[in-house]
Amino acid sequence: MMKDNNVIIYQDENGITKVSVRLSGEDIWVTQQQLAEVYDTTQQNISQHIDGIYRDGELAPKATNKKFLLVRTEGNRQVRRNIDHYNLDIIIAIGYRVQSQIATRFRRWATEKLHEYIQKGFTMDDYRLNSMPDCFLLS
């Protein structure tokens, strides 16, 4: 289990940093702005999708939404605000709703992983497995 308030960085396939996400408990949390950056869309579009997800009863706000205190510099002053963050369930649900090239790649990847899991009973990170040092090779 990861400790609260840890941050991890998400990078795209070119190694370009897209967004840093907050780890709290066993879940990751992102803001609407971060979701917009990840899926290459607007914050307003993300907000509409979140509203639709909640309205349709696909996910419950209480289970997928949490406020975190953020400190930002605005001009010469530091401002503290409680900002809504959304967990992995929302990240995935939005990935199936947003219409962008990045979201399409996400859907293909997620579908591939689901098929692999259904067929094999597990999924593997082939890239990481193939890049392991030779000391892990068995003869």
Give the C-alpha separation, 14 to 32, whole Å: 23
Average pLDDT in the 100-104 region? 83
Please give the residue that has the higher pLDDT: either 87 or 17.
87
- The pTM score is 0.68
Backbone angles phi, psi at 105, to 5 degrees: -60, -40
Segments making up each domain of the chain, as ranges: 6-100
Q: Residue 104 pLDDT more than 50? A: yes
Indicate whether 1 pLDDT > 50.
no
pLDDT tens digit sequence for 4-60: 445 454 556 666 555 666 767 777 888 999 899 888 899 999 999 999 999 999 999
